[in-house]
Amino acid sequence: MLNRASFRPWWRTAAIYQLYVRSFADGAGDGIGDLAGARARLPYLASLGIDAIWFNPWYASPMADAGYDISDYRAIEPAFGTLADADALISEAHALGIRIIIDVVPNHGSDQHPWFRSALAAGPGSAERARFWFRPGRGIRGERPPNDWQSIFGGPAWTRVTESDGSPGEWYLHLFAPEQPDFNWGCPDVRAEFEDVLRFWFGRGADGIRIDSAALLTKDPALPDLPDTGPGTPPGPAHPYTDRDDVHDIYRSWRAIADEDETGSRVLIGEIWLPDAQRLARYVTPGELHTVFNFPYLSCPWDAGALRRVIEQTLALNAPTGAPATWVLSNHDVDRTVTRYGRADTAFDLERRRYFHSLPTDLELGTRRARAAALLTMALPGSVYIYQGEELGLWEVQDIDDDLREDPIWRRTNGADPGRDGCRVPLPWSGTEPPFGFSPDSAVASPWLPQPKEWRDLTVAAELASAGSMLRLYAEGLRIRRAEGALRGTGMRWLPAPDGVLAFDRPGADGPAVRCVVNLSPGPVPLPAGGTVLLASGPLDRGLLPPDTTAWLRAEP
Ligand code: GLC
């Protein structure tokens, strides 16, 4: 149960479970996950030992981009349930000591949002169109897009509308799919609307906000072509739409809204993919966001040197602002870890998904590494994110039939980019065949994406019953992380280690240190002397730590 005493900045060390509603659990029996399903499984999440849930967008949406195209920011998508379900879910989660983070999508809405529909009807030059980016086209008849920007999902970032008299009309900007028109953040209505949406959900008990595409909101109002600076224009003040300086003002006012709650327990988390770590750190300066997702860590290959560098950089960048680090291995946009770590190239990059999917994978090796990576991640100082299904060791489903794929990335690139459906397949809960308890027995439809039949060994029920399962490892890791003060502190000290091995201590404030050793080298290595093993990601070999294995030890004082 949450009580006032627990309203410390809980998010600094929290374990946060990412719940992708459509694929978590289906209560209604229509093959689509929903809030009733999530409510029924809250006890599962409580026993897993997480502190908070981040829900991917649950609002009314035509689902052109799986809910990231929102038509009403104050209503629940009917396929997921009702506002009353959300209220009940929030209070039931709170009763279990679990906080709720919701996903706010401020860069763009849906083309079915009432604002966009009225903008279409109101015509060029109207106040309604000023809430978006409508512009006449180039060329004699306006037949070419207003500038050369490309959609992040492929194709041009502009779509031409037909005016109400039937004539070809203005173009509007969409950095993602055409069904996701970008809001104009220079327009005061947009700012006021989102401030109200934030208050609406905080008022209903939300404990935090994950901000979608947080570096893209503000645009150069001149909408210039991208400057020709060789291989891309770096994000920053000169970029027409990525990481511009004026975006920070928005987050300072959002922070003030979060801080209207005097207990200081509401958190703002930014989704910001930036190659320049210094610029990323600007978002967590005092008075702005509390944390940002650590995508450099997520993208890092399974390599001791590369991991150590990214961990050090993360901690160094966060140190001056006092913002806690976040540690993220996976989410609903990237390849699942067991698949990724089983490839010859273990990095990940959104723009090279096609290449990564072309590489064969060794799932056994990938699983061993994913287990070791989970314990490394849980041992680092800060908060940790767990994308649903990672705790079961699910793999990326790469053989989905083309006609079942839903991701707009796949469609807009004509299949050149396989997209993200493979990490969004509904979870297996129990039983020996699909739908594996994802839907109730009375269901009238199959899960919206088919589950591999081999997942019979990876159901929650099967893994609870199996001592060496990924689920038991996660639950035990989270339990120890909660129980050991050292793992919830901020200190971390690297220890000397052989090549290919990461070893560090998490010193306790007044108790013993917890030591973490990760073997990324090809051969077994001895464990440091004088410690007791608390947990290991795989069996030890006569006291030696095998390759691709992590051990946690209690260091002797
Ligand atoms: C973010 C989301 C992604 C979505 C995109 C557009 O990157 O994580 O799933 O497609 O924004 O909203």
With the most atoms of ligand 1 within 8 angstroms of its CB, the residue from 58, 68, 152 to mutate is 68
273 Cα nearest atom in ligand 1: 7
Residue 98 pLDDT class (50, 70, 90 cuts): very high
pLDDT of 420: 98
What pLDDT is recorded for position 556?
A: 78
- What does the pLDDT read at residue 227? 80
| Residue bearing tokens 């009353």 | 84
- Predicted confidence at residue 1, as pLDDT, reads 59
For ligand 1, is residue 211 a contact (CB within 6 Å)?
no
pLDDT in tens, 209-221: 999 999 999 999 9
CB-ligand 1 contact for 176 (6 Å cutoff): yes
Integer angstrom CA distances of residue 337 from 346, 347, 362, 395: 9, 10, 12, 7
Collapsing DSSP to helix, strand or coil, 93 comes out as helix
CA distance 66 to 419: 12
Task: Give the whole-angstrom CA distance, residue 339 versus residue 335.
Answer: 7
Question: What pLDDT, on the 0 to 100 scale, is given for residue 60?
Answer: 98
Residue of 54, 58, 113, 176 to test ligand 1 pocket, by largest number of atoms within 8 Å of CB: 176
The 8-class DSSP code of residue 68 comes to: S
User: Which residues on adjacent β-strands are paired with residue 96?
Assistant: none
Phi, psi of 70, rounded to the nearest 5 degrees: -100, 130
Share of the chain above pLDDT 90, in %: 92
Give yes or no for a contact between 503 and 395, defined as CB atoms under 8 angstroms apart.
Answer: no
Strands 208-211 and 267-270 come out as parallel
Using CA atoms, how far apart are residues 73 and 279, in angstroms rounded to an integer?
Answer: 30
Angle (deg, nearest 10), helices 470-483 and 363-379: 10
Q: Count the Cβ atoms, other than its own, within 10 Å of residue 249.
A: 13
293 lines ligand 1 (CB under 6 A): no
The residue with greater pLDDT, 416 or 508, is: 416
Paired strand residues for 210: 103, 269
**176 Cα to the center of ligand 1, angstroms:** 8
Mean of pLDDT values over 335-359 = 97
CA–centroid distance, 217 to ligand 1, in Å, is 13
* Residue in 344, 431, 422, 435 with CA at minimum distance from that of residue 387: 422
Distance CA 6, CA 263 (A): 10
For residue 318 the two structure tokens come to: 């966060």
Give the C-alpha separation, 395 to 425, whole Å: 10
Q: Confirm or reject: Cβ of 20 under 6 Å from ligand 1.
A: no
Task: Give the distance, in angstroms, between the CA of residue 340 and the centroid of all CA atoms in the same chain.
Answer: 17
pLDDT recorded at residue 3: 56
Decide whether any atom of ligand 1 lies within 6 Å of the 77 Cβ. no
So which residues are the catalytic ones?
212, 260
The pLDDT tens digits of the residues spanning 49-96 come to 999 999 999 999 999 999 999 999 999 999 999 999 999 999 999 999
Q: Cα–chain-centroid distance for residue 548?
A: 25
Give distance in angstroms: CA of 56 to centre of ligand 1: 10
Please state the pTM of the whole predicted model.
0.97
For residues 459 and 227, give the distance between their C-alpha atoms in angstroms, rounded to a whole number: 51
Strand-pairing partners, residue 108, are 182
- Residue-averaged pLDDT of the chain: 96
pLDDT band at 233 (very low <50, low <70, confident <90, very high): confident
pLDDT, mean of residues 412-428: 97
Q: How far is the CA of 155 from the centre of ligand 1 (A)?
A: 16
Residue type, 515: R
Position in ligand 1 atom list of the atom nearest CA 105 = 12
Query: Taken in order 480, 485, 490, 494, is the CA torsion positive or negative?
Result: negative
CB atoms within 10 A of CB 170: 22
- Distance of alpha carbon 338 from alpha carbon 342, whole angstroms: 6
> What is the pLDDT, as a whole number, of residue 6?
52
Whether pLDDT at 264 is above 80: no
* Burial class of residue 155 in the structure, from the number of CB atoms within 10 Å of its CB (0-12 exposed, 13-18 middle, 19+ buried): middle
**Vertex 182: Cα angle to 178 and 183 (nearest 5):** 145
- Nearest CA owner, ligand 1 atom 3: 333
Q: Which residue has the higher pLDDT, 278 or 302?
A: 302
Rounded CA-CA distance 485/506 in Å is 9
Cβ atoms of residues 73 and 107 within 8 Å: no
Q: Which two tokens stand for residue 387?
A: 């994308």
pLDDT at 35 over 70: yes
Say how far apart CA 290 and CA 278 lie, in whole Å.
16
pLDDT at 512: 82
Residue type, 418: P
Tell me the two tokens of residue 448: 């919206």
What is the tens place of the pLDDT at every residue in 475-487?
Answer: 999 999 999 999 9
Altogether, the residues listed in the chain come to a count of: 557
Other Cβ atoms closer than 10 A to 323: 21
For residue 2, the model assigns a pLDDT of 62
- Please determine, for residue 231, whether its predicted confidence score (pLDDT) is greater than 70: no
Adjacent-strand bridge partners of 182? 108
- Which pLDDT score is estimated for 275? 84
- Cβ burial of 112 (10 Å; 0-12, 13-18, 19+) is middle
Task: Find the range with the poorest average confidence among 5-19, 129-143, 224-238, 350-364.
Answer: 224-238
Cβ atoms within 10 Å, residue 43? 11
- What is the rounded CA–CA span in Å between residue 342 and residue 364? 7
In terms of average pLDDT, the best of 5-14, 21-30, 503-512 is: 21-30
- Cβ(132) – ligand 1 distance below 6 Å: no
Q: Is the CB of 18 under 6 A from ligand 1?
A: no
Cis amide leading into 524 (omega within 30): no
The band of 105, judged by pLDDT with boundaries at 50, 70 and 90, is very high
Residue 199: CB partners within 8 Å, gap ≥ 6?
A: 257, 260
**Regarding predicted confidence, which is higher, 487 or 5?**
487
Q: Is the pLDDT of residue 13 over 70?
A: yes
Between residues 265 and 520, which one has the greater pLDDT? Answer: 520
